Structure formats: C-alpha cells, structure tokens
Structure 1
Amino acid sequence: MDDIVILQAGATLSAPALALRPWCVEDIAALVDVFRDPALRRWTSSAVENEGDAMRWVRDQERGWAAGNRFGFAVLEARPESGRGQLVGHVVLKEVASGKPSAEVGYWTAAHARGRRVAPRALETVTRWAFDVLGGDALERLELLHQVDNPASCRVAHKSGYGLDTVLPAAPPSFPREGHLHIRRRDA
C-alpha cells in the first residue's frame, strides 16, 4: 500500500484538484513551514518545530502504514504546470484493526489553503476509501473528534456527512476541553 495515490477530481476555479498520498521524506521542508502557523499548532497534538521533528513525524506516518493501523495522507493541491503539488493539508484514518467496526479520522489544513474546501474534500475521499477499499464489511462507522471550541472542524464534519453524536467530557492532556464526537456510518 505504500505507493497508493488517491486522486480526487472536482477541480473548480476556487478549489483545484487534490491528490492524496502517503507522507514521504520529500515533504519535510513543507511540513516544517506549514507548522509555523499558530492556529494549526493550537488544534493539533503534534509539535513540528524543525526538520528533526518533521522527520520523526513522517517516520511515524510510515510506521502506521507498515503496521496497517494508521493511514496518514499528505494532501497536495495539483499543480499541472510544475508536475508537482503544494502541501495543503493532512488527513488520517487511524485506530484501524481487522474486524473492528470503527476507526477514527482526523485532518488539518495549511493556513494558505483554508477556505478552499480542502479538508472536506480530502476527508470525503478518505472516508470513501476506508469504507469501499480498506474496511471490507467489518468497518461500519468512522468517528471524528474535535474540541467544542473549534467551529471550523465542526463545519468540516457536517460538510462531510459526519453527524454530531455526543459531547464528550474533557480528558486532559489530549483533550483539555469538552469535545464533539461526530460519526459517519457506512450506509450514510
């Protein structure tokens, strides 16, 4: 699965096509640059301060793919003129286990790409992939968690068909505030 590329069409003038692929060492410089954004750092549990941190982060993503329990994708905006893509986000399917009826999804969007529907489009692509390709019949639902004071994540969840299920109590240190649990079922 290391060479998987999930391409998403649907480009418009305001929202270029996206390509999703596993993270690789070539993404390190862009990852460090993206993590300079204070808003991104506020909502993620990862700390990417320098190239060493970025290398560890990429290697963690690679280990998840190798273990088959965490599938992190670099989200790139297609740049046909250069043959390359610009890093615009991250989407992940995690806590995957054979026969387990649920898994979790997560995402973030680079500051320069916000407002262009990057997160909902990438999340929809990975959701379809999880249910259609990866999950077989055992995967029944995907869960999306975010802090209650993150309205942007709430909007992404709703745009992507993840309905609000419940409000979760704070669970420091990972979730220092109450959280929303959104769920999308296979048959939705």
Structure 2
Amino acid sequence: MLIELRAPETSPAQGLALRPWCADDLDALLDAYRDPVLRRWTRVPVSDTAEGRRWLDRALRDWDDGRRYSFAVLEDDADGPRLVANVVLKGVTPGEPAAEVGYWTAAWARGRGIAPRAVMTLSGWAFERFPGLARLDLLHQVDNVASCRVAQKSGYTFRETLPARPPFPLDGHRHSLTAA
C-alpha cells in the first residue's frame, strides 16, 4: 500500500510520518505493547508473536474492507524511522457524517506532543479523503486524563460524558472535531 502521510516541515506533525502498518512492524508492535500503561487502555491484547500477527493482519484486512484505517506513526531518529504511535480512523460509513479517531503512544514517545500531532494529521487526512465526513469523535474513559489532554491539544472540543458500556467499566468522554 503506497499511502503515506508526511506532514510539511512547517506543520505541527513535523518529523512524523504516518503509513499503513505492515508485517515488518511486528517487532516494534511487540515492543510497544510491553508497556503496562498501553495495555491498560487498549482493548486488543498483543502479548506474543501470534497476537501481534493477528493484530497486524486485522489492520491490513480493515484497510481492504474500508472499515478502519490504522497508521503506524514513525519518527526519524539517528538510526532511521522508529515507531512512536498508532492512529486509527474507525467507523467510516458512506452517507454517515461522523467517524471515530483513536490512538496510542509508545512509552518511549510520551510527553513530546506526538499523539496530538499524529491525531491532527490523521484528522486532516480523514476530512480530505472522505468529503461527506462532517465530524470526528475521540472517545476515552473519564480516568484517562492524558487522552483528555491529547483531545484538547488536537483541537477536539469536549461534548459530553457517556455512560459506561462493555468493554469499558467507567463512563467516558466524547470530544469532537468538525470539518472546516
């Protein structure tokens, strides 16, 4: 797949590239999921090679099905591109005005503004790629204070508190970004 989002050097995503996940990302994915904080907030476990392969296979299938668009977020460092995050556009349905954005950040990349930059880049891509899309939602549990900050820094406005529903044990926040 040849889609890559590399932001212009003057954009907030300077130094980041977003591209679809590929089989070669298995080791980096497993490294990221060794983090207990990441595992706490994600629903699909990746604790061994088999689960990692299933995760990557699903990401590729979802692109083919047009249901979800997951991007590996890479940052250039001295040794070349390094995985720092994942961003995903979920629930894009023709004729529906809203979809959802999700993300996670690898432990070694937190606190440097990577998540907001990647979410903003994905959001711009989504509005450009899907002309009927009018709103993107970013959802998180109420106790995930870091995700609340990411939503705000990404330009998403707090809209409401949602009641808990499986698999989430606590209420959640819905933040939204509307198309320009």
TM-score range, shorter chain: over 0.9
TM-score of the superposed pair, with normalisation by structure 2: 0.95
Query: Which stretch of the first structure deviates more once superposed, 112-121 or 2-11?
Result: 2-11
The corresponding residue for 1:54 is 52
Distance 2:9 2:120 in 1: 12
1:146 equivalent to 2:140? Answer yes
Deviation, 1:100, is 1.2
Structure 2 spans left out of the alignment, 5+ residues = none
1:23 equivalent to 2:18? Answer no
Structure 1 spans left out of the alignment, 5+ residues = none
- Secondary structure of the residue aligned to 1:86 is strand
1:179 equivalent to 2:179? Answer no
The corresponding residue for 1:156 is 150
Q: How do 1:87-166 residues align onto structure 2 when only pairs under 5 Å count?
A: 87-132=83-128, 134-136=129-131, 138-166=132-160
Moved over 4 A (4+): none
Deviation, 1:8, is 2.2
The corresponding residue for 1:76 is 74
The residue type equivalent to 1:87 in the other structure is L
Distance 1:160 1:31 in 2: 24
Distance 1:178 1:35 in 2: 24
The corresponding residue for 1:3 is 2
Q: How many aligned positions are there?
A: 179
What's the C-alpha RMSD, in Å, of the aligned pairs?
1.6
CA contact (8 A) 1:148 1:178 kept: yes
Distance 1:131 1:47 in 2: 30
Percent identity of the aligned residues? 52
